[in-house]
C-alpha cells in the first residue's frame, strides 16, 4: 500500500537547512544523503497562502486567483481569503476519492477545516474563537481532550517581547508535532500533509539575531543561538515522527518559500501619491492603512496593496466602480509605472534589482482580480509598504511591527522512500512539481494540463514556469 508523509516547514530556506544548520539536523541531512533534494523554486509571489494552495492543488496563483493573503472582491476592498476560495481540488481530495485515507493538517488555507476522507485541521488563519477547527467533530473532541485548545500558530510574533515569543515558538511547534504523531499512530492515513509554521515565525522574529549575514546582526546578542537550537529541535521532532511511519513510506520535507534578511521597505503608495497617480481626499496626519474611502477616485489612476511584493491596480473605466483610466490608456500607463518602479534607487542612491511584471506573462491563467502590475522591490530585499502618511519613500522596517525577514524565491525539497533512494540533488524542482509527485507516489492518476512534473526517481523537473 503506497503511503506518503509531507512535512511542510514554512519558510525554511536552503541556506539554513542544507548548509548553516545541516550539522545540527542529523535526520534531514541523512534523508538528503540517502534520497533526493534540491532548491524548490516557489510561486509568484512567494507568499504562504498562495504557495501552499498551489503546492496542494498543482495550480499556480493566477489559476487559483489567489495573489496574497488578501484578495479583491467586487469593489476596491481586499479581504482575507479562506479555504472556500480554493476552487480546485487538492491532493487529499484526489487521494480520498481513490478510496484512501488522508490527513490534511494545518495546510494553508484550511479554515474552515476541509471535509476529507479522513481528518483535517485548520491552518494558522483559524480564528481564535472558531467553534470548528477540525474535521470530523469526533476528531476535534479527541484533540481537545488529549492536547487542549487548537494551536495553529505562534500568537503575536511581530512584537518586541522576544522571550515570550521564543517560549511560544518551541511549545507550539511541539504541540503540533504531538498532534501529528497522534494522527499517524491512531488514524494511520495513507497520505498525510502537515504544515509547521514555526520556522516562518522564528525568521520574522529572530532572523537578525541569529543570521550572521543580516545587516542588523549583533555578535553576542542573547538570541544568537536561537536559530540553531530551533532547527535542531525541529529535526528531533521530525526524527521522532518518522519512527512512527512504515519503512516504505515516501517522506517529503518541503517549504513554500525561502527567507532572506529584510533590508527595509518601499512606501509604494507614498510614491504613487508623490508622482501624482494616487490622490487622497485629505492628507493623513500620521501612518495609516490605505482604505478605499480615503481615496479620491475621480483623480486616482493607480494604487497598491503592500506586503512582500506590491500589487499595483489601475483605476480602469468600466472595470472599477469609479474608474477613470480608459482601456487604451492601460498599456502606456503600465509601461510608465514599470519605469517608475524599476528605476527607483536605493536609500543610498544605488540601483535596486526591482522587477515589475504583468500577471499575464507569469501565469497560465488569471482568475479573480489579478493586479495590473506585480512589483518585487530589490529582488525581495525590500518589502512593499502599503500605508500612507509614512513621510518617506524608503523606511528601514515594516509598517506593521518589528520584522527581520523577507521571503525569498527558493524553499527546500527533500524526499526519501523507494522512488527517491540514491537520486541525489535535483536540478530545478518547482513547487508545482510536488502535486504530480504525490499523486504518482500514491498511485492515483493525475489531472491533465498541469505545469508541474513528477519528481519521482529524479525525473521531471522540466520547468514550464518562467524564472524570476
- Dihedral, 3, 8, 12, 16 alpha carbons, nearest 10: -30
- Total site size for Zn ion, rule CB under 5 A: 5
Task: Quote the least distance from Cβ 255 to Zn ion, whole Å.
Answer: 7
Applying CB under 5 A, the span of 10-18, 208-216, 262-270, 284-292 interacting with Zn ion comes to 10-18
Is 10 a binding residue for Zn ion by CB under 5 A? The answer is yes
Applying CB under 5 A, the span of 8-16, 92-100, 154-162, 347-355 interacting with Zn ion comes to 8-16
Whole-angstrom distance, CA of residue 197 vs CA of residue 52: 12
Among 43, 48, 57, 354, binds Zn ion (CB under 5 A): 48
Which of 86/446 has CB closer to Zn ion? 86
What residue is closest to Zn ion based on CB?
48
Task: Quote the least distance from Cβ 187 to Zn ion, whole Å.
Answer: 26
Is 410 a binding residue for Zn ion by CB under 5 A? The answer is no
Angle at 298 between CA 287 and CA 340, to 5 degrees: 60
Cβ 309 vs Cβ 384: under 8 Å: yes
Task: Quote the least distance from Cβ 414 to Zn ion, whole Å.
Answer: 17
- Residue 55's alpha-carbon distances to 58, 84, 108, 236, 437, in angstroms, are 6, 17, 10, 25, 10
Q: For residue 365, what are the contacts with CB-CB under 8 A and spacing of at least 6?
A: 62, 63
- By DSSP bridging, strand 134-135 and strand 310-314 are unpaired
Alpha helices (H) in 262-395, listed in sequence order: 268-274, 330-342, 359-362
- The site string for Zn ion over 226-265 (x = CB under 5 A, - otherwise) reads ------------------------------x---------
Which of 259/278 has CB closer to Zn ion? 259
Is 408 a binding residue for Zn ion by CB under 5 A? The answer is no
Task: Quote the least distance from Cβ 47 to Zn ion, whole Å.
Answer: 7
Please give the backbone phi and psi of residue 454, each rounded to the nearest 5 degrees, phi first.
Answer: -65, 140
Which of 96/411 has CB closer to Zn ion? 411
Task: Quote the least distance from Cβ 12 to Zn ion, whole Å.
Answer: 9
Is 437 a binding residue for Zn ion by CB under 5 A? The answer is no
Residues 155-214, interacting with Zn ion (CB under 5 A): 200
Task: Quote the least distance from Cβ 256 to Zn ion, whole Å.
Answer: 4
Whole-angstrom distance, CA of residue 307 vs CA of residue 390: 15
Q: Which residues of 199-216 are buried (b: 16+ CB within 10 A; e: fewer)?
A: bbbbbbbbbbbbbeebee
Which of 57/346 has CB closer to Zn ion? 57
What phi-psi label fits residue 164: left (phi over 0), alpha (psi between -120 and 50 degrees) or beta?
alpha
Binding site for Zn ion (CB under 5 A): 10-11, 48, 200, 256
Amino acid at each position: 500500500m503506497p503511503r506518503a508523509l509531507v512535512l511542510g516547514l514554512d519558510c525554511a530556506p536552503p541556506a539554513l537547512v542544507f548548509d548553516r544548520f545541516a550539522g545540527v539536523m542529523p535526520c534531514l541531512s541523512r534523508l538528503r544523503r540517502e534520497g533526493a533534494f534540491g532548491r524548490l523554486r516557489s510561486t509568484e509571489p512567494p507568499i504562504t497562502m498562495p504557495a501552499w494552495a498551489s503546492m496542494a492543488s498543482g495550480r499556480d496563483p493566477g489559476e487559483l486567483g489567489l495573489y496574497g493573503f488578501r484578495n479583491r472582491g467586487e469593489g476596491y476592498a481586499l479581504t482575507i481569503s479562506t479555504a472556500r476560495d480554493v476552487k480546485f481540488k487538492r491532493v487529499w481530495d484526489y487521494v480520498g476519492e481513490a478510496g484512501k485515507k488522508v490527513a490534511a493538517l494545518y495546510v494553508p488555507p484550511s479554515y474552515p477545516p476541509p471535509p476529507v476522507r479522513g481528518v483535517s485541521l485548520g491552518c494558522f488563519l483559524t480564528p481564535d474563537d472558531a467553534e470548528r477547527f477540525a474535521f470530523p467533530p469526533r476528531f476535534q473532541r479527541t484533540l481537545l481532550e488529549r492536547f487542549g485548545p487548537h494551536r495553529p500558530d505562534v500568537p503575536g510574533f511581530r512584537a518586541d517581547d522576544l522571550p515570550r515569543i521564543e517560549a511560544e515558538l518551541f511549545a507550539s511547534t511541539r504541540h503540533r508535532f504531538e498532534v501529528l504523531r497522534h494522527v499517524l499512530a491512531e488514524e494511520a492515513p495513507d497520505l498525510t500533509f502537515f504544515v509547521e509554521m514555526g520556522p516562518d515565525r522564528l525568521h520574522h522574529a529572530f532572523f537578525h539575531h541569529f543570521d550572521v549575514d543580516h545587516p542588523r546582526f549583533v555578535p553576542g546578542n542573547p538570541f544568537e543561538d536561537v536559530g540553531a537550537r530551533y532547527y535542531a529541535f525541529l529535526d528531533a521532532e521530525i526524527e521522532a515522527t518518522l519512527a512512527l511511519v512504515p519503512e516504505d513510506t515516501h517522506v517529503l520535507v518541503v517549504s513554500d518559500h525561502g527567507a532572506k534578511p529584510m533590508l527595509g521597505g518601499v512606501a509604494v503608495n507614498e510614491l504613487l501619491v508623490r508622482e501624482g497617480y494616487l490622490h487622497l481626499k485629505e492628507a493623513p496626519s500620521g501612518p495609516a492603512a490605505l482604505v478605499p474611502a480615503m481615496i479620491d477616485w475621480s483623480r486616482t489612476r493607480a494604487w497598491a496593496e503592500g506586503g512582500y511584493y506590491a500589487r499595483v491596480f489601475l483605476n480602469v473605466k468600466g472595470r472599477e466602480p469609479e474608474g477613470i483610466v480608459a482601456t487604451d490608456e492601460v498599456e502606456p500607463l503600465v509601461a510608465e509605472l514599470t519605469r517608475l518602479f524599476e528605476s527607483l534607487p536605493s536609500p543610498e542612491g544605488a540601483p535596486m534589482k526591482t522587477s515589475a511584471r504583468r500577471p499575464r506573462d507569469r501565469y497560465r491563467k488569471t482568475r479573480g482580480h489579478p493586479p495590473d502590475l506585480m512589483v518585487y522591490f530589490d529582488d525581495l530585499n525590500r518589502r512593499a509598504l502599503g500605508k500612507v502618511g509614512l513621510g518617506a519613500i524608503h523606511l528601514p522596517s515594516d509598517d506593521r511591527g518589528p520584522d527581520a525577514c523577507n521571503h525569498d524565491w527558493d524553499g527546500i525539497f527533500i524526499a526519501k522512500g523507494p522512488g527517491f533512494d540514491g537520486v541525489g540533488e535535483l536540478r530545478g524542482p518547482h513547487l508545482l512539481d510536488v502535486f504530480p509527485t504525490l499523486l504518482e507516489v500514491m498511485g492515483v492518476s493525475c489531472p491533465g494540463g498541469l505545469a508541474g512534473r513528477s519528481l519521482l526517481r529524479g525525473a521531471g523537473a522540466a520547468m514550464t514556469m518562467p524564472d524570476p
